[in-house]
Structure 1
Amino acid sequence: MNTRLSDYPAVVFAAQEPPCLSVYQKTHRRHPDNQQDPIRFRNLVKKLDEALAGKYPKRMIESLLRPYYDLAEDHRFWNHTLDGIAVLGAPGMFKIYNLQEDVKDIAVVSDSFYTKPLVRIFQSHERYQVLSLTRNEIRLYEGTKNSLDEVPLAKGVPRTMVEALGDRITSPHQTVASYGGTKGPAMHHGHGAKKDEDEIDAERFFRIVDKSILERHSQRSRLPLVLAALPENQGVFRQVSQNPWLTENGIVMNPDALGNGALQEKAWSVVEPQIRERTAAMLDDYAEAHAANLASEDIEHIAAAAAAGKVSALFIDNDARIRGALDRQTGDITPDVSGEPAAGELLDDIGELVLQKGGSVRVVPSDVMPSRTGIAATFRF
């Protein structure tokens, strides 16, 4: 049911037949706080109904809202939420995003989806993934500074060695058995438990895992990948891995011995120094570009450059909000006077435009922003 956050660009960039329905809601992970979540969701769906009424045929409205009302009654879903949800619907389309960050409750009906919270969360510089690896099984997690949650493996990614190798497993799983009566010699049933065969199986399993994680997860998320595994498995996996997002350091211990909280703490201790280093490099690049007149912190200048496809990298202050309307063709800015809760978040609108034009966007904390305007950009030319 849940859509992976890494798939959100397909929603941002794709043309969608209106009306487009967007619901964002803060949720809770545990009882009893989560008991009010479905009630609040129904109230947001009612706002969608009110916004649609009189503008579209009743049958169409019922068809659009049916998945929302069905979700409101899905008790299993509401017992397994994280910190927020985004629910996007349109004719022939319905997607649910389970979010690791909370969001403001909002219901929007428009000609396009309201995606700004998704953009902010997806472009956060603090996200990463953890690959928990043993010789029998893998798990994949996605985390932030404060949370770590298991994510479903994409289709085609084997969870176990048996799934990966099937009948091609060379090492035996049978024990020694006796044949020919009590006086007969003990005979080995199977191929014999040989260490080299175990190593062959492990290497083949790890190659398949590495390839499938790279193709079906890392290339989509482009997030740092922290390996949690015993020392011997770290060595074998790193020898065969082709994943450029695999971090140099990992969690060198049996991941099955770690609870979720301990795994998150150890993963963050690996990722945080790399985040600081990467952020420092980006800020150095910005300073060099600024000295060469290839950077700006003026929002009007940046908006015009974004519309022209000139922005190479964009920085957005995570805590900043600037209201207004953006003309995506010219980059012209108009002060917001509508008062609509979903309208006129200029920083996010510019961020979406930069992404559509092939630039990169980073949402960063205020203390590392290279400007005081809430926005900064480097230009291609």
Structure 2
Amino acid sequence: MDILNPADLKSLIAQQGKWSISLYIPTHRVGREQQQDPIRLKNLLAEAETKLLATGLRRPEVEKLMSPAERLLWNDNFWRHQSDGLAVFLSNDFSVIYRLPAEFEELLIIANSFHIKPLLPLLGRAGTFYILALSMNNVRLFQATPDTISEIALNFPTSMDEALWMDEPERYLNLHSGSVSTSEAGIFHGHGIDEDAKKNILRFFHSVNEGLNALIEDKTVPLILAGVDYLLPIYRGASTYKNLLKDGILGNPDRENLSEMHEQAWSIVRPIFEESQKKAFEKYEQLVGQQSAQATNDLSTAVKAAKFGQVETLFVPLDVHIWGRYDEANNKVILDSQFRPDNEDLLDFAAAETILNSGQVFAVPSEQLPGDGDLAAILRYPVQPP
């Protein structure tokens, strides 16, 4: 599974080009349905090829655009290591592929920029969190959403033996030749931890903390610890992660059922996410009740405000597309009744511009959208509607 960081999202938003192809499909980790995943991608690629050729683009140009994704179709190892959804982005001289813990609806968009709205629930404020499973023999990191959980491959030592060996080989050999063992059973029988053992655990956890901070860019995403009770406070002493939650999951994570660990973690983090969205929702409703010009559900007003960095908070529906384009030269929003290669989803455009200007975006199902407009925006200061 891959990590989607805010910098990755901004990189996607910054890519502008006439032929920007965004493909989303649901994928499967195991079972017979996994065999259908490459077929699903193949069908979407065929649809994209047909649409590109219909615009007058020459076949060699189309083949060059599609080749990074085409190569995936025959990569058995790639399909054996999937998460819950696959996002593919292709344009001239640029391509990137993400295996992510999100059950995407099948979608193909060809526009002047990449379509990023389905990715938004994966970013911190929208419901993504991490679980760090602590063990002396195998530290693991999981990225989760309310509905999914996936393990992330780690590029740093994940066992105490490995970490201490890499840190100080000679000291490690002395450790093993003495009376102290690095096996969990040896150190923690009866939960008695002598000072030397505790120091070694702390050194190991400092190593894990360093690797974790290098791996995770957005440290505002909540991190939950899972492990036996005597390890959690030691790790907290080593951690510098910005949003390490106070509550943790007690028990041996090596023996823990993954779905149960996910359920316990979600019960810890759910109130945090609900409170953040609830506060934004209530602020919008309060401004509407006051008839304040700082709240708007007018699409044109919100799109222009987003472009000029005036949107503090934006709610957009995940399951709706409104086609058109923003005419920057005339500061005008132009609607279109259908999708064309020279336009884009204006809801997606507003979300992207809000993110680029450090606003927060909640991409939600239509029924959770506040008000009765196409979107809902809280502005940093009042602006006059068009």
User: Which TM-score applies when normalising by structure 2?
Assistant: 0.81
> In structure 2, what is the equivalent of residue 255 of structure 1?
253
Superposition deviation, residue 361 in structure 1 = 1.1
Q: What amino acid maps onto 1:147 in structure 2?
A: T
Superposition deviation, residue 328 in structure 1 = 6.2
Identity %: 27
Superposition deviation, residue 11 in structure 1 = 3.3
> In structure 2, what is the equivalent of residue 267 of structure 1?
265
2:95 is equivalent to residue 94 of structure 1:
yes
Q: What amino acid maps onto 1:346 in structure 2?
A: L
1:303 and 1:332 in contact (8 A); partners too: no
1:123 and 1:363 in contact (8 A); partners too: no
Quick one: distance in 2 between partners of 1:342 and 1:202?
57
Inter-CA distance 240–30: structure 2 relative to 1 (3 Å threshold): closer
> In structure 1, what is the equivalent of residue 352 of structure 2?
352
2:335 is equivalent to residue 327 of structure 1:
no
Q: Secondary structure at the match of 1:25?
A: strand
Quick one: distance in 2 between partners of 1:259 and 1:281?
34
Quick one: distance in 2 between partners of 1:328 and 1:128?
37
Superposition deviation, residue 128 in structure 1 = 1.1
Inter-CA distance 77–105: structure 2 relative to 1 (3 Å threshold): same
2:111 and 2:343 in contact (8 A); partners too: no
1:171 and 1:192 in contact (8 A); partners too: no
Quick one: distance in 2 between partners of 1:44 and 1:318?
20
Deviations 1:86-141 (A, max 9, x none): 11123333211123233333334444323332245447722211111123331111
Q: Tell me which structure has the larger Cα radius of gyration.
A: 1
2:124 and 2:221 in contact (8 A); partners too: no
Correspondence list, 1:187-266, <5 A: 189-190=177-178, 195-217=194-216, 219-220=217-218, 222-266=220-264
Quick one: distance in 1 between partners of 2:233 and 2:219?
24
297-306 vs 339-348, greater mean Cα deviation: 339-348
Quick one: distance in 2 between partners of 1:33 and 1:136?
33
2:22 and 2:88 in contact (8 A); partners too: yes
Unpaired stretches in structure 2, ≥5 consecutive residues:
182-192, 382-386
2:375 is equivalent to residue 375 of structure 1:
yes
Correspondence list, 1:1-381, <5 A: 3-6=2-5, 8-15=8-15, 19-53=19-53, 55-122=56-123, 125-153=126-154, 155=155, 157-165=156-164, 166-168=166-168, 170=171, 189-190=177-178, 195-217=194-216, 219-220=217-218, 222-287=220-285, 291=290, 293-319=293-319, 321-327=320-326, 329=328, 332-339=332-339, 344-365=344-365, 369-381=369-381
Quick one: distance in 2 between partners of 1:64 and 1:197?
58
Superposition deviation, residue 163 in structure 1 = 4.1
The structure, 1 or 2, with the larger RCO (C-alpha pairs under 8 Å, 6+ apart) is: 2
Inter-CA distance 27–131: structure 2 relative to 1 (3 Å threshold): same
Deviations 1:204-248 (A, max 9, x none): 22123223323421x336321111111111111122322221112
Unpaired stretches in structure 1, ≥5 consecutive residues:
176-188
Superposition deviation, residue 64 in structure 1 = 3.0
Quick one: distance in 1 between partners of 2:347 and 2:22?
19
Quick one: distance in 2 between partners of 1:264 and 1:342?
42
Inter-CA distance 22–284: structure 2 relative to 1 (3 Å threshold): closer
245-254 vs 269-278, greater mean Cα deviation: 269-278
Superposition deviation, residue 252 in structure 1 = 1.6
